Chain A
């Protein structure tokens, strides 16, 4: 009996590591032989989410499983719980969509051959880094994965190689490096005070105190800088301006979330009762919501608008801190579910939106909002996709954003923290303001008719699928949330 269980565990572990590492191998392969068609990419990537689904199924049946890996005297811990599995699934789906989209993008326009080839190993590296971050239970793995992710992301952002992209990429590079140093400083303090690097051990041995407080402050600051939380978001919007849509999609959807994920993991383990600091984080989140929404509203460029909306939407996630710190179990449960649902919904929707925006810009050859006039007639499908994705961003039903907002509101009301209710309202209205600014431009009928460049259908389809996924997650939230309820919260 136990032997078969052990065997099963072994299989699970193997599958997990295969799922984690296969993307980088595929990326290397594709570097050598850049794919020319969408379908092979899709087929090659498809086993990954299927494997993850199977793992999730196992997790839901048998609970989370963990392990350690010891190269050269180090003991590196990892574990797969419901949350990590779901994020892994999300990552793989988005990577798949992004890869497929990139192939379409390559076919629709003339991209530099070497830049396109360079995209693939970076994508593989990013995939591996993200997967490692989700399953890591050890600060060292987290550090390595975080750095890998950051460098891959910078590299992908730099692929277009244009002037503005270079400046923005340089800024991103500098801040990402400095942010991880701040993080490393915090880790150093933690390591110095407790002498351990695995999360479970840290949680067990660390006591709340000034050192932990300062360490967490340094660590959090570094992560906030990487997660582009107000007021440390300055690098985010410019970097998206000239990036490829497939890269922007991944970045806005996952890369910034990874830092948030790490922060949440550490915060929940090491100082779950720090109410005041949690409120500061919540306030920063609120300001992010307002500032991001405002900037997105006033943006005159479509991609800038989408990028700024990321800043705003990330703010919602930060509201989890005050709602989780020192509140009742019911509130905390609600806020916990809301946060991850919001993360997933936003990831899908934001990726869809970047792709749809990319399609609009590519087809119309114009990235200013006013250039979209009449797009509803000329480019109905990308616009529709944009609209569906926007539904999630605005938090209107039946989208994941809506369900998440419902949970968040419920948590805030139950906890009596009315400030967040006001923030949610303001954020929603701002989101509506910037989204409908785009749609409004698209409905203008009097504009002169430009030439429209046809795009491969797969590009539109990918974006649409992601947007519909975000929509469907709203009403189909029970399954992931059940997984979240069962485990994952430290």
Chain B
């Protein structure tokens, strides 16, 4: 199959699914489910094909001019395909989860349609070959997530959608202005052509610094950098699969991925270090990490706590980017994947508690481990990973961040990491304690807020399997980190082949 065709097919899978779902009637549950799952599997297969091809040195490119001197470019490089792999994998799980989660709820057609569109945008972001293409899909993502955020149609959901747009639309605009300015300055820069900016006249350097920060503000809103994070906790009113998707792959990661592209593929890490941009990034990331953790500590409900935890965790990626050196890069790129796996696990589990037992507050979780052992086990794996306990993947991220900080000669970053780990422990361990060590309704103390009719398993298989699977993946990705094609191994390969400073 030719390169352009396979890229088109990969992108088209989701787009086609979206269109088909919009065309199908609301009640065609089976057809929709089949379509969703089939497309997710096909896409996963295509991405796997491309990964395999890429590891054998093949290139897949699709490009055509949009304007004079500006092209629409889709291209697979190892970084992009990594993100694409993550999104296709998690799409599969999230789709399965969403099918179970939205059982019997209205507007499923709309939900799944935009859901597919959202995934198509994410894939587009990951395969984009220049900033213009990235922006196209970035904004498409904003648009396609809005209906998901307001899906419930309640006043709260609509308010959250409003806040979401208030943050993301201006950010997209700022991003666009930064990109146009960069384009006016240096023309169309494909990802990987770091030399273009590096060879720019020294007099343009201050301008470059300015544009960089403008772009960071643009990406920072989606990446939820403090003080641009305000939309994220509000967006929690969305259904659980949406939260999982927003937090683990789509929106938040799109921002972080954008920053990765910006630093490594446009400016180049050396130029960024030379311009003193990385120190600023590290400072912003550190503040975000600590602030997010502190706010998470103060939350009394499960999903907001997870949301603030995301604020904190995603900044690890930015922190890793700011650490000049291969280890920092590995940390940033691998955390992109690791956080996705762990966070989606946590949100799946939170959704399971809400769906099965009606639990929203943390103090209602007492003894839920006995009632829903597998869910709770998955949750524990995710939470321990977030704290950084081996062998869950979170440990590897922390490890590379810490060693990367030493390598970049910023030992104080370790203090940030340590403080964040302690705070993570402080807000996750009490939850685990409640799950496993407190007597709850299943021990005859009190009763669940809203228990659903019992099923054979602890909850619907549609809900249980994705949670357990992502938990397993985050465990396996940690334990088998040295295996070929594990996230860590792949990022190491990416860094060694493409981003060695």
Q: Residues of A at under 8 Å CB distance from B?
A: 337, 374, 376-377, 380, 384, 387, 391, 396-398, 402-403, 405-407, 409-410, 413-414, 421, 425, 428-429, 432, 436, 439-440, 443-446, 474-478, 481, 485
Contacts and interface: CB of A to CB of B under 8 A. Distances in A.
B196 to A, nearest CB: 17
B80 interface: no
Contacts of B109: 380
Given A376-B147, A380-B110, A403-B67, 11 more contacts: A337-B68, A397-B135, A397-B136, A406-B180, A410-B184, A414-B184, A425-B170, A432-B169, A478-B65, A481-B68, A485-B68
B136 A398 contact: yes
A376 B132 CA distance: 31
A413 B106 contact: no
Contacts of B173: 425, 428-429
B54 to A, nearest CB: 25
A413 B143 contact: no
A160 B491 CA distance: 66
A251 to B, nearest CB: 28
B65 A429 contact: no
Given A414-B184, A445-B153, A478 B139 contact: no
A436 B165 contact: yes
B66 A475 contact: yes
A407 B110 contact: no
Interface stretch (B154-162, B243-251, B354-362): B154-162
Contact of A376 (B107, B180, B183): B107
13 contacts: A376-B147, A376-B153, A377-B107, A396-B140, A397-B136, A397-B139, A402-B139, A436-B146, A445-B106, A445-B107, A445-B154, A478-B66, A478-B67
A478 B64 contact: yes
A209 B314 CA distance: 63
Contacts of B143: 387, 391, 396
A436 B161 CA distance: 10
B479 interface: no
B102 to A, nearest CB: 14
Contact of A445 (B66, B152, B161, B180): B152
Contacts of B68: 337, 481, 485
Contact of B165 (A391, A403, A432): A432
A413 B158 contact: no
Interface in B145-189: 146-147, 150, 152-154, 158, 161-162, 165, 169-170, 172-173, 176-177, 180-181, 183-184
A376 B148 CA distance: 12
Contacts of A405: 176
A413 B181 contact: yes
Q: Give the bracket for the number of chain B residues in contact with chain A.
A: 35 or more
Contacts of A429: 169-170, 173
The 4 A-B pairs at the shortest CB distance, nearest first, are namely A445-B153, A397-B136, A409-B180, A443-B150
Given A425-B173, A428-B173, A432-B165, A477 B150 contact: no
A105 B453 CA distance: 50
A45 to B, nearest CB: 27
Contacts of A387: 143
Interface string B47-81: 00000000000000000111110101000000000
B22 interface: yes
A377 B110 CA distance: 8
Interface string B363-402: 0000000000000000000000000000000000000000
- A interface SS class: helix
A444 B158 contact: yes
Given A377-B107, A446-B153, A475-B72, A337 B67 contact: yes
A374 B147 CA distance: 13
A409 B140 contact: no
Contact of B176 (A374, A406, A485): A406
Interface string B86-124: 000000000000000000001101100000000000000
A29 to B, nearest CB: 36
B362 to A, nearest CB: 28
Contacts of B169: 428-429, 432
Given A403-B66, A475-B66, A409 B150 contact: no
Given A396-B172, A403-B67, A478-B66, A425 B139 contact: no
B139 A396 contact: yes
A448 to B, nearest CB: 13
A422 to B, nearest CB: 10
Given A397-B139, A481-B68, A409 B176 contact: yes
A444 B153 contact: yes
A384 B154 CA distance: 20
Contacts of A476: 66
Interface in B178-229: 180-181, 183-184
A477 B136 contact: no
A436 B150 CA distance: 12
Contacts of A475: 66, 72, 136
A481 B147 contact: no
A413 B136 contact: no
B177 A443 contact: no
Contacts of B147: 376, 443
A435 to B, nearest CB: 10
A413 B72 contact: no
A407 B154 contact: no
Contacts of B135: 397
B156 to A, nearest CB: 12
B67 A477 contact: yes
Contacts of B142: 396
Nearest to B159: A440
Contacts of A413: 177, 180-181, 184
Nearest to B23: A381
Given A429-B173, A443-B161, A407 B67 contact: yes
* From A410, A446, A485, residue with most partner B Cβ within 10 Å: A410
Contacts of B107: 376-377, 445
A273 to B, nearest CB: 24
Contacts of B184: 410, 413-414
Contacts of A478: 64-67
Nearest to A341: B67
Contacts of B172: 396
A439 B147 CA distance: 9
A369 to B, nearest CB: 13
A443 B170 contact: no
B176 A446 contact: no
A381 to B, nearest CB: 8
A472 to B, nearest CB: 12
A398 B176 contact: no
A439 to B, nearest CB: 8
A414 B185 CA distance: 8
* From B22, B70, B137, residue with most partner A Cβ within 10 Å: B70
A490 to B, nearest CB: 20
Contacts of B177: 409, 413, 421, 425
A402 B177 CA distance: 12
A382 B126 CA distance: 31
Nearest to B182: A413
Contacts of B110: 376-377, 380
Contact of A446 (B64, B154, B170, B180): B154
* From B139, B142, B152, residue with most partner A Cβ within 10 Å: B139
Contacts of B181: 413
Nearest to A406: B180
A35 to B, nearest CB: 29
Contacts of A337: 67-68
B183 A410 contact: yes
B382 to A, nearest CB: 31
A366 to B, nearest CB: 18
Contacts of B70: 406
A327 B146 CA distance: 40
Nearest to A374: B153
A477 B176 contact: no
B17 to A, nearest CB: 16
